[in-house]
Amino acid sequence: MSSKILNTVMGMSLLALASTNAAYAELLWLTETAPPKSSATQVADHAAHHHAMHTPTAAVSSTVVTDSGKHDHTGMIVLDETPGKDHRPSKQVWLRRGDDIKKSPFAALDGGVAYLTLIDQAGKKSVVEAGQENGLFTLKAEMPEVGFYETYLEQRSVKEGRLLVELPKIELLWASCQPKEIDEEAVAKPIINDALALELVRIHKEDEGCMNRLVSGDVVNFQVLSYGKPIAGFPVSMVTQEGWRNTQPSDASGTVAFTMIREYFPNWLEFKKYHTDVFLVSAVMDKQEAGALNGQPYISVRYEATLPGKYRPSPHDYRSYAWGLGISFFVIVFGGLAVYLYRRRRLKPYKEERVDDKS
Amino acid sequence: MTNLEDIRTAVNNVQFNRFRFWLQIFFFALLVYGGYLGIELGKHLPTFACGYNKELRGGMCFLMPLQHWMEWPWEKLFSAAALTILYGFTIFFLWFIALNRGWCGFACPVGTIQDWITSLRRWTGIRYSRYSEGQYKGLGIIKWVLLALMFLIPLGIGGGWFTHDLKSPFCMICPGRTVVPLFGLDVSQWSIDFSSRTNMIMTSLGLLVTGLFFIGAFVKKRFFCFYCPMGALHYLFSKAALLRLNKEGAKCTRCGDCYRVCDLQIKEIADDIQNKNIMTDDCIMCLKCVAACPEPGALKATFAGIPIFEATEAGFITRMNKGRTDDK
């Protein structure tokens, strides 16, 4: 009997997992990576092709070109994430669907109810308008001051009697190499949208500033919030660009910590210290709430919150203090010795010369 | 009038080395630790207030933004955006004309560190070195070569000829990058960057120069100033500056005291009795020559034409009686 119950529970868990995985596979997220121009002409065809498929979004397949133009082993051209530069006062954002960061297609709004909100470092909210480029969702966010800006999209639609509330969010940064232009306290303070049913917030370090970048090996903390309040014991997932996945429950303060793994292993001559990998953090919450959206009734609600981030190779991968100190020590010791020997060689031995004034 | 004369006499009789020591301490604290006090003098300073000293510094060396600007793509560099450079240069120029190369002699943190290393050598009793005349002439070109490369390499980056890893080429080999942040306990610049061949070479070169800086400054007074491209850049505009070093050749007896105390071994300071403006490209305007001159009015520092410190017999005797140890 107990075995039957266990099997049933396991079966339900697997079902839930499969359902969650399916949900993750369809996650909607915002990105700074632009769709490649080469695919622009393919967008309409793909949009038409995908229109009849499983998702109502006007999604397009991410048949895009890498920096190196290399194809992967499946023959499909894979996208290398190349997020926007942080030293620009405006950024363009796109929408993608799916948790395969390299291959997930760029998307458009699905025609449901959607809101876009931008919150600046001072907590000032502004409603922004989305645009379209080649049939794809895009948003140009203006960032008048140096610092972080949070951009939120809230998209609601009813599918099979369930209200799906998709809450993709992206943290945008206008950085400056002038530390004195930066209000460190404001940068360290998290920006929270307390009107959201589910939100993921990256916790900034106190001394983070604007020029600090996440690197592999860093421990990154996220807080999961509902209407601005932390949720304890809530599963939060991370998937990285190369497909590494991890799920952690939040602690009593709603915080989860992930260590950024190293995924970049190029040959030395191809190594780029500014290489940027992308990760995606997500949380899904189901609630039994009934209601209607635009006349379409639903009996449950699913909230899907996503937050992408980016990180670089760790300086430990390419910087060596031992070599640095070794070179300077070598120069000081051998240079000092060389100067000593040079000066010694030029030292003339004492030689007395007598001049006889009378002669 | 009497009061003014009294002030002049007091200034001319000042224990100059002590005065200079404390003025250097003041500028060092201002430029290296000014950030602690919320001081920000901008990023166009004509001295090595190193940008790698991040939050601590009270201002930034102009060479850093200058090289960044030169790295702009040419379409941008030769467009209206170049007004930013013009603005930056104007601020640099305004700072510069106030002190001329006195920025080197009194304010430069790297120069001050070299003076401290010289004091250490003097304390050990080791004699200092001087270049031979041939070495002096040959090595004097290096600062001009560095100045030219400091413009040409970033321009080459903007033109797509060189890799971006060569950005800020002079900063990469400047000892200020490695030494000044040490005063904020930042050792991050003492590492080799193996992320590319160019980075590896440039960071290695930087630490090689740092090693040479310590040895050189120990045996040779103001060792690095002789090769400093900032000094060369200063010299290009020194004729427009308000602070000047003047010589009245008719009053000079060519005793050679000024030459002997000169950290940069400038022979013209003693030999040239023709030119009134005695500044050379190597002069750091430390004014030690004025303090060491026994001939009244032979050497003087003027600000906007007004003498502010000049050689006097009384001043010379006062300072000699105090006992100078510069030539140990």
From A275's Cα to the closest Cα of chain B, the distance in A is 11
| Residue whose tokens read 């909210």 | A125
- pLDDT score, position B103: 96
- At B128-146, the pLDDT tens digits run 999 999 999 999 999 999 9
- pLDDT score, position A206: 74
User: Do B271 and B217 lie in a common domain?
Assistant: no
User: Do B189 and B306 lie in a common domain?
Assistant: no
Span of A184-193, B98-107, B249-258, B296-305 with lowest mean pLDDT:
A184-193
Q: Is residue A257 within a helix (H) or strand (E), and if so which, with residue range?
A: strand A255-259
Average pLDDT for A114-134: 82
Give the ipTM.
Answer: 0.84
- pLDDT score, position A359: 65
Among chain A residues, the shortest Cα distance to B131 is held by A343
- At B231-244, the pLDDT tens digits run 999 999 999 999 99
Considering the domain boundaries, does residue A348 fall inside one?
Answer: no
- pLDDT score, position B29: 96
Instruction: Tell me how far CA of residue B158 lies from CA of A175, B68, B69, B84, B152, in angstroms.
Output: 22, 10, 9, 16, 10
User: Do B209 and B262 lie in a common domain?
Assistant: no
Residue A22 has pLDDT above 90, yes or no: no
Among chain A residues, the shortest Cα distance to B213 is held by A332
- At A169-194, the pLDDT tens digits run 999 888 766 655 667 677 778 888 98
Considering the domain boundaries, does residue A150 fall inside one?
Answer: yes
Q: Which of A123-127, A198-202, B273-277 has the highest mean pLDDT?
A: A198-202
Contact B192 A273 (CB under 8 A): no
- At B150-164, the pLDDT tens digits run 999 999 999 999 998
Average pLDDT for B195-214: 95
Average pLDDT for B172-198: 94
User: Do B26 and B153 lie in a common domain?
Assistant: yes
Span of A67-71, A221-225, B48-52, B172-176 with lowest mean pLDDT:
A67-71
Of B187, B199, B211, the CB nearest to A331: B211
- pLDDT score, position A11: 39
Residue A153 pairs in a beta bridge with: A116
Residue A2 has pLDDT above 50, yes or no: no
| CA-closest candidate to residue A261, choices A275, A278, A244, A247 | A244
> Where residue A131 falls among pLDDT bands split at 50, 70, 90?
confident
User: Do B202 and B308 lie in a common domain?
Assistant: no
Q: Which of the pair, A206 or A169, is modelled with greater confidence?
A: A169
Q: How far apart are CA B312 and CA B300, in angstroms?
A: 10
A265, A318, A334, best to mutate vs chain B, most B CBs in 10 Å: A318
The beta strands (E) that lie in A32-146 are given as: 90-97, 113-119, 125-127, 131-133, 136-142
> The tokens of B15 are what?
């224990």
Among chain B residues, the shortest Cα distance to A271 is held by B195
Span of A143-147, A227-231, B180-184 with lowest mean pLDDT:
A143-147
Give, as one character, the DSSP assignment of residue A121.
Answer: T
**B208: chain A residues, CB-CB within 8 Å:** 327-328, 331
C-beta separation of A96 from A105 below 8 A: yes
> Domain boundary residue among B174, B204, B234?
B234
Considering the domain boundaries, does residue A334 fall inside one?
Answer: no
User: Do B57 and B190 lie in a common domain?
Assistant: yes
From A313's Cα to the closest Cα of chain B, the distance in A is 10
Contact A271 B195 (CB under 8 A): yes
From A293's Cα to the closest Cα of chain B, the distance in A is 51
Contact A328 B40 (CB under 8 A): no
Instruction: Tell me how far CA of residue A35 lies from CA of A23, A133, A307, B81, B209, in angstroms.
Output: 23, 10, 19, 29, 46
Order the strands of the A131-133 sheet from edge to edge.
Answer: A28-31, A90-97, A136-142, A131-133
Of B187, B208, B218, the CB nearest to A331: B208
- Please give the mean pLDDT across all residues of chain B: 92
Contact B208 A271 (CB under 8 A): no
- pLDDT score, position A77: 37
- At B68-93, the pLDDT tens digits run 999 999 999 999 989 999 999 999 99
Considering the domain boundaries, does residue A335 fall inside one?
Answer: no
Considering the domain boundaries, does residue B328 fall inside one?
Answer: no
**B129: chain A residues, CB-CB within 8 Å:** 339, 343
User: Do B30 and B122 lie in a common domain?
Assistant: yes
Domain count, chain B: 2
Contact A179 B55 (CB under 8 A): yes
C-beta separation of A279 from A247 below 8 A: no
Chain B residues in contact with chain A using a Cβ-Cβ cutoff of 8 Å: 35, 40, 43, 54-55, 129, 178, 187, 190-197, 199, 203-204, 207-208, 210-212, 214-215, 218-219
- pLDDT score, position A274: 87
From B39's Cα to the closest Cα of chain A, the distance in A is 10
Q: Cα–chain-centroid distance for residue B136?
A: 18
User: Do B137 and B177 lie in a common domain?
Assistant: yes
From B292's Cα to the closest Cα of chain A, the distance in A is 28
- At A92-102, the pLDDT tens digits run 889 999 888 88
Residue A265 has pLDDT above 50, yes or no: yes
From A317's Cα to the closest Cα of chain B, the distance in A is 8
Q: How far apart are CA A168 and CA A196, in angstroms?
A: 11
Contact A320 B195 (CB under 8 A): no
**B56: chain A residues, CB-CB within 8 Å:** none
- pLDDT score, position A16: 39
Considering the domain boundaries, does residue B308 fall inside one?
Answer: yes
Considering the domain boundaries, does residue B71 fall inside one?
Answer: yes
C-beta separation of B128 from B221 below 8 A: yes
Domain count, chain A: 1
Considering the domain boundaries, does residue A326 fall inside one?
Answer: no
Contact A339 B219 (CB under 8 A): yes
Contact B54 A339 (CB under 8 A): no
Contact A321 B190 (CB under 8 A): yes
C-beta separation of B60 from B51 below 8 A: yes
Considering the domain boundaries, does residue A71 fall inside one?
Answer: yes
**B210: chain A residues, CB-CB within 8 Å:** 328, 331
Looking only at the bridges linking them, the beta strands covering A162-174 and A147-159 are antiparallel
From B262's Cα to the closest Cα of chain A, the distance in A is 21
Contact A330 B211 (CB under 8 A): yes
Contact A323 B35 (CB under 8 A): no
> Where residue A307 falls among pLDDT bands split at 50, 70, 90?
very high
Considering the domain boundaries, does residue B9 fall inside one?
Answer: no
Residue B53 has pLDDT above 80, yes or no: yes
> Domain boundary residue among B187, B205, B234?
B234
> Domain boundary residue among B234, B256, B274?
B234
Considering the domain boundaries, does residue B230 fall inside one?
Answer: yes
From A138's Cα to the closest Cα of chain B, the distance in A is 27
- pLDDT score, position B157: 95
With H, G, I as helix, E, B as strand and everything else as coil, classify residue A319.
strand
Considering the domain boundaries, does residue B12 fall inside one?
Answer: no
Of B40, B191, B219, the CB nearest to A180: B40
**A272: chain B residues, CB-CB within 8 Å:** 195-196
Average pLDDT for A11-20: 40
Give DSSP secondary structure letters for B237-283: HGGG-SEEEEE-GGG-----HHHHH-TT--THHHH--S-SB---TT-
C-beta separation of A93 from A31 below 8 A: yes
Considering the domain boundaries, does residue B31 fall inside one?
Answer: yes
Residue A142 lies in domain: 2-313
Residue A21 has pLDDT above 90, yes or no: no
- At A37-91, the pLDDT tens digits run 655 444 444 443 433 333 333 333 333 333 333 333 333 334 455 566 666 677 8
Of A319, A329, A331, the CB nearest to B193: A319
Give DSSP secondary structure letters for A261-307: PP-----GGG--TT--EEEEEEEEEEE---EEETTEEESEEEEEEEE
- Angle of CA points B204, B208, B214, to nearest 5°: 145
Contact A321 B193 (CB under 8 A): no
**A325: chain B residues, CB-CB within 8 Å:** 190
Residue B123 lies in domain: 18-234
Q: The dihedral of CA B37, B24, B99, B14: what is its sign?
A: positive
Span of A38-42, A281-285, B243-247 with lowest mean pLDDT:
A38-42
Residue B2 has pLDDT above 50, yes or no: yes
- At A320-348, the pLDDT tens digits run 999 999 999 999 999 999 999 998 888 88
- pLDDT score, position A269: 83
User: Do B261 and B146 lie in a common domain?
Assistant: no
- pLDDT score, position A25: 56
- pLDDT score, position A44: 42
From A338's Cα to the closest Cα of chain B, the distance in A is 10
